[in-house]
């Protein structure tokens, strides 16, 4: 989920403590992964939505996230060649580009962002089933690595609520399947108190994350909750939930955001602080990673800040109140998996985006529809119409891709965005009837 190994910044740009901290955390994490064969550390591959980092830590397993690797490849302009490699091997043009980037990377030696080989996983843990392609992805990985695979089935929230049955069903799987297999793979006995300890730390960092994301309600917003938000969600969504590092990171970040808010400043962009907030947007859908900077620039150059986004909820909808709970350890893990954004039904997504537009006083909704992600894209036009109808605010629809550079047409995207911003402006100031 997180582009932490950021391109080198100009030396005169002062880095915030949180940015330095995050960079260091990521570097250490990839070092832990690539040195696993020497340190004899066991590795688990798993996905971001619904990942069970605290549980994996109970077994001293190092958490490897193929999605994050694909994002890193996208940001580092490597994904294009990986995708073509996978297509040469027979994967169709329509397949999720995260998958193809990952497969292509494996075929090219599985070299991680630190230039070292990523380790083969000892276990595959699939705890999110909202995306069918993810299942297939793990089947491919199992084929490759021939290692134990754990499949924790998460019921889809079709009726818009979590029932006690759903939780029982998941806890049963955790007890009878997930935990015993992890014990077997790692050789470490499960200790529920250790889990409670981690969950307590998770909740602490989660409080700060929610605080930070909700500062988007301020005018101007001190954060960009989409492009900046991708950095902010990194530690919680990835391999750091439940660690002291994450607590420190969010503490630093919260202080920085508070400072900016006190001074009435807007978000920090790659080109420095943003001047004036002209447009406040809510964005639905993942960003494009191969042209991330260029994409972001199309927003901040026009004075557009994203005040809230759904993508920053794919690893947990904490702003709706959920916290990992040390008093109900397994139950809260189950609730966590159930509640992630992509496991929510269309009506729930519509409610959420409508709430965001109202609560964050946004000018409208922008949907970035992902060409190769059916799971996110299905129903988005319907979502758009409904949110428009309920809020009376204008919406727009653009199309790009996650990590396939061939599907980012800068001129087209810029054209749509400029039209949208002008449309917002026209609606807002205009109402000036044409004679």
Q: Which residues bind other proteins (CB under 8 A)?
A: 278, 303, 371, 381, 385, 388, 394-399, 407, 409, 411-412, 415-416, 418-419, 422-423, 425-427, 429-435
C-beta of 432: minimal distance to other proteins in Å?
A: 5
Sheet of strand 304-309, all strands in order from the earlier edge strand to the far edge: 304-309, 279-284, 364-370, 395-400
Is 338 in a helix, a strand, or coil? helix
Indicate the residue among 305 and 332 with the shorter CB distance to other proteins: 305
Contact 346, 381 (CB under 8 A): no
C-beta of 288: minimal distance to other proteins in Å?
A: 12
Neighbours of 9 (CB within 10 A): 11
Is 30 in a helix, a strand, or coil? helix
Is 421 in a helix, a strand, or coil? helix
Of 297, 312, 310, give the one whose Cα is nearest residue 417. Answer: 297
Distance, C-alpha 281 to centroid of its chain: 18
Separation CA 195–CA 190 (nearest Å): 9
Indicate the residue among 51 and 372 with the shorter CB distance to other proteins: 372
Of 301, 302, 310, give the one whose Cα is nearest residue 283. Answer: 310
Distances (CA, A) of 18 to 13, 107, 215, 265: 14, 35, 17, 17
372 half-sphere exposure, CB direction, 13 A CA radius: 24
Indicate the residue among 168 and 419 with the shorter CB distance to other proteins: 419
Tokens of 349: 């997504």
C-beta of 381: minimal distance to other proteins in Å?
A: 6
C-beta of 408: minimal distance to other proteins in Å?
A: 9
C-beta of 76: minimal distance to other proteins in Å?
A: 23
Calculate Rg over the CA atoms of the chain.
21
Indicate the residue among 62 and 417 with the shorter CB distance to other proteins: 417
Separation CA 188–CA 209 (nearest Å): 31
C-beta of 405: minimal distance to other proteins in Å?
A: 12
Indicate the residue among 259 and 419 with the shorter CB distance to other proteins: 419
Tokens of 69: 């690797």
C-beta of 395: minimal distance to other proteins in Å?
A: 7
Contact 78, 59 (CB under 8 A): no
Give Dmax (Cα) for the chain.
Answer: 78
Tokens of 59: 């077994």
Indicate the residue among 224 and 401 with the shorter CB distance to other proteins: 401
Indicate the residue among 172 and 406 with the shorter CB distance to other proteins: 406
C-beta of 364: minimal distance to other proteins in Å?
A: 11
Indicate the residue among 226 and 420 with the shorter CB distance to other proteins: 420
Indicate the residue among 24 and 412 with the shorter CB distance to other proteins: 412
Of 292, 233, 212, 337, give the one whose Cα is nearest residue 22. Answer: 233
C-beta of 295: minimal distance to other proteins in Å?
A: 15
């Amino acid at each position: 989920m997180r582009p932490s190994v950021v391109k080198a910044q100009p030396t005169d740009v002062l880095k915030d403590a949180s940015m330095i901290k995050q960079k260091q955390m990521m570097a250490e994490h990839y070092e832990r992964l690539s040195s696993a064969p020497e340190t004899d550390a066991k590795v688990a591959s798993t996905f971001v939505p619904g990942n069970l980092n605290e549980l994996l830590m109970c077994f001293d397993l190092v958490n490897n996230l193929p999605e994050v690797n694909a994002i890193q490849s996208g940001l580092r302009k490597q994904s294009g060649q990986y995708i073509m490699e996978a297509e040469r091997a027979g994967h169709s043009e329509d397949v999720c580009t995260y998958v193809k980037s990952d497969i292509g990377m494996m075929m090219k030696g599985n070299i991680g962002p630190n230039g070292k080989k990523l380790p083969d996983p000892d276990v595959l843990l699939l705890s999110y089933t909202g995306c069918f392609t993810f299942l297939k992805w793990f089947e491919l990985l199992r084929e490759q690595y021939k290692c134990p695979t754990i499949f924790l089935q998460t019921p889809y929230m079709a009726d818009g609520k979590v029932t006690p049955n759903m939780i029982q069903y998941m806890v049963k799987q955790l007890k009878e399947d997930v935990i015993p297999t992890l014990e077997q793979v790692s050789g470490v006995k499960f200790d529920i108190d250790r889990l409670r300890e981690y969950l307590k730390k998770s909740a602490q960092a989660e409080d700060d994350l929610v605080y930070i994301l909700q500062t988007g309600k301020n005018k101007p917003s001190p954060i960009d909750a989409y492009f900046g938000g991708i950095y902010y969600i990194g530690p919680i969504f990835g391999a750091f939930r439940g660690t002291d590092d994450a607590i420190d990171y969010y503490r630093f970040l919260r202080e920085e955001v508070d400072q900016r808010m006190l001074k009435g400043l807007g978000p920090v962009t790659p080109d420095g602080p943003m001047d004036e907030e002209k447009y406040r947007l809510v964005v639905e859908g993942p960003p494009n990673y191969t042209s991330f900077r260029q994409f972001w620039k199309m927003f901040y150059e026009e004075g557009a800040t994203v005040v809230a986004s759904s993508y920053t909820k794919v690893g947990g909808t904490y702003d709706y109140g959920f916290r990992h709970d040390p008093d109900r350890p397994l139950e809260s893990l189950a609730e966590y998996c159930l509640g992630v954004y992509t496991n929510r039904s269309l009506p729930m997504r519509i409610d959420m985006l409508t709430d965001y537009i109202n609560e964050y006083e946004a000018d409208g909704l922008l949907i970035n529809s992902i060409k190769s992600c059916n799971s996110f894209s299905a129903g988005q036009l319907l979502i758009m119409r409904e949110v428009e109808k309920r809020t009376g605010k204008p919406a727009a629809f653009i199309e790009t891709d996650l990590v396939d550079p061939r599907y980012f047409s800068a001129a087209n995207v810029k054209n749509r965005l400029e039209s949208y911003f002008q449309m917002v402006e026209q609606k807002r100031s205009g109402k000036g009837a044409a004679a």
